[in-house]
Amino acid sequence: MMMEKFALRSRSLLAGAAMTALLVGIAPAFAVTPADTLVEGFAIDDIISMDPGEAFELSTAEVTGNTYDLLVRLDLSDTSKVKGDLAESWTVSDDGLTYTFKLKPGMKFASGNPITAADVAYSFERAIKLDKSPAFIINQFGISGDNVTEKAKAVDDTTFQFVVDKAYAPSFVLNCLSATVASVVDAKLVKEHVAAVTPSADYKWDNDFGNAWLKTGYAGSGAYKLREWRANEAVVLERNDNYNGEKAKLARVIYRNMKESSAQRLALEAGDIDVARNLEPNDLDAIAKNADLTTTSAPKGTVYYISLNQKNANLAKPEVRQAFKYLIDYDALSTTILKGIGEIHQSFLPKGDLGAINDNPFKLDVAKAKELLAKAGLPDGFKVTMDVRSGQPTTGMAESIQQTLGQAGIQLEIIPGDGKQTLTKYRARNHDIYIGNWGQDYFDPNSNAQTFASNPDNSDNAKIKTLAWRNAWDIPDLTKETEAALLEKDSGKRADMYKDLQQKILDTSPFVIIHQQLEVAGVRKSLKDFALGPSFDTNFVWSVSK
């Protein structure tokens, strides 16, 4: 009896499985995203916090840019300038130390609270006192936890005053204030959510300035408000009806975490997402050929380079440094591995920065490189290693470089590794050659100049460890020149100083800068006005409609 039941049960289960298959079979075929919602497939697994005072990741920058307002914002029509956002106007005192901002009247946060200069002052205070990764962007004006309430303060409800320690170039100061760390938070709302902290030697304050709450919370005034962030799953934005500018066209924006390029492409083709953000060249090609889809791209402030550690005696020779620049097949790279995702760019300032040089003097020239190597006393080449993070485009680039270096007798051994692993080695200066990228921290030429062209202390336990330091490149003169460019009030002259610095880096540095990253996206044609910005925090979605 029992056995019969067993047999019967397995039979009915089989029937159930068949039913299941049938049910799936008759599922209707529809896939359209809701008409009032923008759905993007995006690898958002780098997000660790939504607090603008703490976040320094690329996907977070995009969310912060869309959900928070700043005093001033990058002018997208000319990215070497800024324009007012919450600020209606501003003045700089004659000594170049005091910046006074006048806020636009009658603005509100998403919560309905009025936006006042006190909110701006509190935003600066908490960013500085929290002292998280992006705080240095404001720190560099001589502002610390001890003096921030003096240096960044509300004069009255609509007047905010910012005092710096040196007469910096105003363009520098204003560019830094357009970084996400200077986003203005709703002080009243945040103060309702502060947690008590026991002060210690490393953290002198008695509360967390709402950091724990803001990691997933929201207290801004941008065109969209953050409804929810579920780590590794989704970020959901909703239209802010209290926004002081033109209201967002769509009611909702949903970023869904999708890591795989091919999965993003399938979802885009099927209409389940409107935009695919992490496409590899082959998927991009397929999308470009699809009649319902299109692609868009924008150069971002990230440059890819290889760098030669000056602790290696061979690589420290000036002729060898120069020879490497002639041993990269830039043309072949740009038509293959970098096609659609990068454009050749050999100077350290990305296109769009004040003073950026866009002519690329180097071409693959093996004869010239051999001549330089002979001059360095290495006519037969030498052996050297390169640390390469697994994945594209770095692996493909490294293989191409290995082949062209070989033509001049340089035997390159590629050491593959995980991203964090190669980076750990690089940061400890234990590499020969490193291939990597560098994205500017804020939209000002100083960000990249400081790391590529200055190295205040080349000793092993230096306090400031720039990219020049990581490659043990000791450059006291260039360091001084970089510092001087910060204090040049005239924007035209300042631009010229950066041109000179870039030229010197091209001529002498151990950095072989190869290309500037293009951010690409696959987009459904039914979507209107989707555009990528010049930086991650300017990938605005409020103008998008369907």
Partner 1 sequence: MSVADNQAAAGRGSAQAVAVLSAIGRFLAIAVTTYLGLLAVTFFIGRVIPIDPVLAVLGDRAPTAVVERTRREMGLDLPLIEQFYIYVKSALSGDFGTSVLTTNPVMADIRRVFPATLELATLGTIIGAVIGVPLGVLAAVKRGSFIDQIVRIIGLIGYSVPIFWLGLLGLVLFYAKLQWVAFPARLDVVYEYTFTPITGFYLLDAAMQGQWDVFYDAFRHIILPAALLGYFSLAYISRMTRSFMLNELTQEYIVAARAKGLSETRIIWGHALRNAAVPMVTVIALSYAGLLEGSVLTETVFSWPGIGLYITNSLQNADMNAVLGGTIVIGSVFIAINLFSDLLYRVLDPRTKAR
Residues that bind partner 1 (CB under 8 A): 2-4, 6-7, 10, 13-14, 16-17, 20, 23-25, 27, 29-31, 33-34, 37, 39, 45, 48-49, 56-57, 131-133, 135-136, 139, 202, 215, 230-234, 236, 254, 256-260, 262-263, 266-267, 269-270, 272-273, 418-421, 423-425, 427, 439, 441, 462-465
- 225-264 burial by CB neighbour count: b if 16+ within 10 A, else e? bbeebeeeebbbbbbbebbbeeebbbebbbbbbbeebeeb
**Rounded Cα–Cα distance for residues 388 and 395 (Å):** 6
- Residue 82 · residue 73 · CB < 8 Å: yes
* Residue whose entry in the numeric block shows the structure tokens 């920065």: 353
The nearest distance, CB 379 to partner 1, in angstroms, is 36
Compare residues 231 and 487 and give the one whose CB is closer to partner 1: 231
Compare residues 215 and 249 and give the one whose CB is closer to partner 1: 215
The nearest distance, CB 456 to partner 1, in angstroms, is 12
The nearest distance, CB 299 to partner 1, in angstroms, is 20
- Residue 274 · residue 288 · CB < 8 Å: no
- Residue 401 · residue 306 · CB < 8 Å: yes
Q: What are phi and psi of 412, to 5 degrees?
A: -100, 125
The nearest distance, CB 143 to partner 1, in angstroms, is 14
3 state SS of 487? coil
Compare residues 139 and 297 and give the one whose CB is closer to partner 1: 139
**Rounded Cα–Cα distance for residues 334 and 294 (Å):** 21
**Rounded Cα–Cα distance for residues 332 and 339 (Å):** 10
Compare residues 386 and 410 and give the one whose CB is closer to partner 1: 386
Compare residues 27 and 313 and give the one whose CB is closer to partner 1: 27
The nearest distance, CB 450 to partner 1, in angstroms, is 11
Compare residues 32 and 367 and give the one whose CB is closer to partner 1: 32
Query: Encoding tokens for residue 356?
Result: 């950026």
The nearest distance, CB 248 to partner 1, in angstroms, is 17
The nearest distance, CB 65 to partner 1, in angstroms, is 17
Compare residues 178 and 244 and give the one whose CB is closer to partner 1: 178
Angle subtended by helix axes 445-452 and 476-486, to nearest 10: 170
Compare residues 57 and 69 and give the one whose CB is closer to partner 1: 57
The nearest distance, CB 11 to partner 1, in angstroms, is 9
Identity (one letter) of the amino acid at 41? Answer: G
CA atoms in the 13 A half-sphere facing the CB of 36: 6
Whose CA is closest to 306, among 282, 330, 318, 324? 324
Query: Encoding tokens for residue 51?
Result: 């607090």
Strand partners, 226: 237
